[in-house]
Amino acid sequence: MNQVKSRRSWSLIVGLVIISTITLVTLISLVWLPYPIDNTDGGRLSPPSWSHLLGTDKLGRDLVARLMVGARIALSVGFSAVLIAGIVGLTLGMAAGFAQRWLDESLSALLDILIAFPTLLLAMLIVAARGSSLTSAIFAIGLGMSAIIARLTRLLVKRVLAKDFITASRASGTSWPRIIVLHVLPNIWPTLIVSFALQFGLAGLAEASLSYLGLGAPPPNASWGSLLQEAQATVMTSPIAAIAPGLFLVALVIGVNLIADGLREIADPTLRRSR
Partner 1 sequence: MNVLEIKNLDVTTPAGVKVVSGVSFSIAPGARLGLIGESGSGKSLTALAVIGLLSSQLKASGSVLLGDLNPQEILGAPERMLNTIRGKVASIIFQEPLTALDPLMKIGRQLAEPLRRHQGISGDALESAIIEALTEVRITNPARIAQSFPHQISGGERQRAAIAMALACQPSLLIADEPTTALDVTVQSEVLALLDSIVSERNMALLFISHDLAVVGQITDSVVVLKDGVVVESGSLQEIMADPKHPYTQDLVKNARVLDDALNIAKDGK
- List residues binding partner 1 (CB under 8 A): 100, 163-165, 167-176, 178, 182-183, 186-187, 267-270, 273
Spatial CA neighbour of 185 closest among 254, 104, 86, 103: 86
Instruction: Quote the least distance from Cβ 272 to partner 1, whole Å.
Output: 9
> Following CA atoms 1, 14, 186, 111 in sequence, which dihedral angle do they give, to the nearest 10 degrees?
-140
Of 10 and 165, which CB lies nearer to partner 1 in the complex structure? 165
Instruction: Quote the least distance from Cβ 192 to partner 1, whole Å.
Output: 13
Instruction: Quote the least distance from Cβ 4 to partner 1, whole Å.
Output: 14
Instruction: Quote the least distance from Cβ 189 to partner 1, whole Å.
Output: 9
Of 171 and 236, which CB lies nearer to partner 1 in the complex structure? 171
Instruction: Quote the least distance from Cβ 12 to partner 1, whole Å.
Output: 18
Contact 71, 22 (CB under 8 A): yes
Of 130 and 178, which CB lies nearer to partner 1 in the complex structure? 178
In this structure, what DSSP letter does residue 85 have? I
Of 98 and 117, which CB lies nearer to partner 1 in the complex structure? 98
CB neighbour burial string for 41-63, b if at least 16 within 10 angstroms, e if fewer: ebeeebeeeeebebbbbeebbbb
From the number of C-beta atoms within 10 Å of its C-beta (0-12, 13-18, 19+), residue 161 rates as middle
Q: Please tell me the distance from the alpha carbon of residue 166 to that of residue 188, in angstroms, as a whole number.
A: 13
Contact 221, 37 (CB under 8 A): yes
Of 129 and 269, which CB lies nearer to partner 1 in the complex structure? 269
CB neighbour burial string for 170-204, b if at least 16 within 10 angstroms, e if fewer: eeeeeeeeebeeebbeebbbbbbbbbbbbbbbbbb
Of 4 and 251, which CB lies nearer to partner 1 in the complex structure? 4
Instruction: Quote the least distance from Cβ 99 to partner 1, whole Å.
Output: 11
Spatial CA neighbour of 221 closest among 70, 54, 64: 70
